[in-house]
C-alpha cells in the first residue's frame, strides 16, 4: 500500500506515481500472472496450510522500502496477502506466525525442517504415532505367537502324559492277565493232584481192607504179621505190615541215639486202629513225628501213633480196633510206616513186649 509518511531518508514520496516518471504501463493478465515455478502455492490438503515459501515471498515483497514496491518504468502493484491459518496448529505447536499482518515474526524450526523434507508439519507426531502403532502391532503378534506356541507345547505334554498312562494301564492289564493265567494253571494242577491223591487213598484203603480180611485170624510174629484180632479187649495197631525197626535199636536216624518205638511198615493209607479203649488227648502235627495221634488208655498208658498220612479221629473216646487214622510217611521218615510208642508215667517202654503182654501176637 502507498503511504504519505516520510521515508527513512526524509524525502517525500508522491502518493501516486505519474506516467511521465515511469511511462504509461497497463498490466495485462499475462504480465500480472505469477511466474510459474517462482511463487508456487501448494494447495491445501486435508486442512493443511500453504507452503511457508509463499509466506516468505509475501513478507519480502511487503516490507520493501517504506512499504512501497518499485520497479523501473512500471507503476506500483499492490500485493495483498491471503489470510493464513494459525501456523502452530499446522506445525504441531512449533512456532508463532503473524498471518493477519502479513509478517512472519518467527520461523518455526520444526516447520522448516518438515518443509525441507517435503513432509507436512504434523509429520513428526504422525511418524511417532505410526512407529508406536507398528511396535504395538508387532508386540501383539509376538504375544499371539507365544500364546499359540505355549498352547501347542501344553497339548503335546498332555498327549504324552495320556499316552504314558494308557501304556502303563495296558501293561498292568497284561500283567494281571498273565497272573490270572498262572493262578488258574496252579489251581488246575492242585485240583488234579488232590484228585490223584484221593484215588490213591481209595485204592490203598481197598487193598488194606482186602489184606486185612485175608489175614484175619492171627499175626505172623516178627515177619509178615497181618492179624488185628482183639485179645482181651486189645487189638493190633494195623494189618499187612512188616516190622522194620524195634525198640532200642541204635543209629544216626534217631535223635536220641536209639529207637524209642516199634515200626510197622505198610502201604500208605493202611488203616490204623486203637489198640485199646480210651480217649484221644492229642492229634496234629508234631515235627519229626509228622502227623501224630496220642491215645490215652483207661489205665493211663499212652500210645503214640506217628507219621500218619491222615487222622480220622482227633478227639473223643474210641474202642479197641476202631480206625483212628491211616499209615503215611510224614515227618522224619525214609518210607511209609507206623511208628508206635508206648509210654507209662512219661517214660517209653518196649511196644512189642507190651503188646504181647496184652495177649497179642505181633
pLDDT in tens, 267-286: 999 999 999 999 999 999 99
In this predicted structure, what is the pLDDT of residue 33? 58
pLDDT tens-digit profile of 23-38? 555 666 555 555 554 4
Residue 271, beta-bridge partner list: 326
Q: Whole-structure pTM over 0.85, yes or no?
A: no
- Greater confidence (68 vs 30) lies with 30
Q: Is the pLDDT of residue 53 over 60?
A: no
DSSP 208-274: HHHHHHHHTT---TTSS------SSS---S-SS-EEEE-TT-BSTTSTTSB--SEEEE--TT-EEE-
Model confidence at 100, pLDDT cuts 50, 70, 90, reads very low
User: What per-residue confidence (pLDDT) applies to 92?
Assistant: 47
- Tens of pLDDT along 315-339? 999 999 999 999 999 998 889 999 9
Mean pLDDT of 105-124: 47
Give the pLDDT score at 202.
74
Determine how β-strand 323-327 pairs with β-strand 316-318.
Answer: unpaired
* Secondary structure of residue 10 in the 3-state scheme: coil
Q: Tell me the average pLDDT of the chain.
A: 73
pLDDT over 90 percentage in the chain? 38
Residue 92 or 240, more confident: 240
In the three-class reduction of DSSP (H, G, I as helix; E, B as strand; rest coil), residue 139 is classed as helix
In this prediction, residue 346 carries a pLDDT of 87
In this predicted structure, the answer to whether residue 226 has a pLDDT above a threshold of 80 is: no
Instruction: Give the ranges where the chain is alpha helix by DSSP (H).
Output: 19-22, 29-32, 52-62, 87-90, 109-116, 123-215, 351-357
CB-based contacts of 327, cutoff 8 Å, min separation 6: 238, 264, 266, 267, 268, 269, 270, 271, 272, 307, 308, 309, 336, 337, 338
Tell which wins on pLDDT, 306 or 112: 306
CA–CA separation, 85 vs 51, rounded Å?
12
Amino acid at each position: 500500500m502507498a503511504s504519505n509518511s516520510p521515508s527513512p531518508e526524509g524525502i517525500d514520496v508522491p502518493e501516486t506515481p505519474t506516467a511521465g516518471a515511469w511511462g504509461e504501463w497497463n498490466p495485462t493478465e499475462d504480465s500480472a500472472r505469477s511466474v510459474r515455478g517462482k511463487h508456487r502455492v501448494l494447495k491445501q490438503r486435508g486442512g493443511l496450510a500453504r507452503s511457508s515459501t509463499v509466506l516468505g515471498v509475501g513478507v519480502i515483497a511487503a516490507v520493501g522500502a517504506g512499504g512501497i514496491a518499485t520497479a523501473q518504468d512500471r507503476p506500483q502493484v499492490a500485493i495483498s496477502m491471503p489470510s493464513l491459518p494459525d501456523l502452530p496448529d499446522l506445525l504441531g505447536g512449533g512456532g508463532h506466525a503473524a498471518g493477519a499482518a502479513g509478517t512472519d515474526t518467527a520461523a518455526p524450526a520444526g516447520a522448516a525442517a518438515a518443509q525441507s523434507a517435503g513432509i507436512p508439519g504434523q509429520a513428526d507426531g504422525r511418524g511417532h504415532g505410526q512407529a508406536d502403532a507398528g511396535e504395538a502391532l508387532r508386540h501383539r503378534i509376538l504375544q499371539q505367537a507365544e500364546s499359540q506356541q505355549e498352547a501347542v507345547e501344553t497339548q503335546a505334554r498332555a498327549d504324552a502324559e495320556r499316552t504314558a498312562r494308557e501304556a502303563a494301564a495296558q501293561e498292568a492289564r497284561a500283567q494281571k492277565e498273565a497272573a490270572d493265567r498262572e493262578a488258574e494253571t496252579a489251581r488246575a494242577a492242585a485240583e488234579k493232584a488232590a484228585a490223584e491223591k484221593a484215588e490213591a487213598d481209595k485204592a490203598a484203603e481197598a487193598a488194606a481192607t482186602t489184606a486185612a480180611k485175608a489175614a484175619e485170624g492171627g499175626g505172623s510174629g516178627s515177619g509178615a504179621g497181618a492179624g488185628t484180632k482183639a485179645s482181651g479187649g486189645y487189638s493190633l495197631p494195623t494189618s499187612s505190615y512188616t516190622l522194620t525197626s524195634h525198640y532200642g535199636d541204635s543209629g544216626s536216624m534217631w535223635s536220641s541215639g536209639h529207637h524209642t518205638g516199634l515200626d510197622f511198615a505198610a502201604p500208605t493209607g493202611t488203616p490204623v486202629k486203637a489198640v485199646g479203649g480210651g480217649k484221644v488227648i492229642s492229634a496234629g502235627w508234631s515235627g519229626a513225628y509228622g502227623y501224630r495221634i496220642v491215645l490215652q488208655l483207661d489205665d493211663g498208658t499212652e500210645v503214640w501213633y506217628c507219621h500218619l498220612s491222615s487222622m480220622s479221629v482227633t478227639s473223643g473216646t474210641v474202642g479197641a480196633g476202631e480206625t483212628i487214622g491211616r499209615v503215611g510217611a510224614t515227618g522224619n521218615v525214609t518210607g511209609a510206616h507206623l511208628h508206635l510208642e508206648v509210654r507209662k508215667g512219661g517214660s517209653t517202654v518196649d511196644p512189642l513186649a507190651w503188646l504181647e503182654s496184652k495177649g497179642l501176637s505181633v
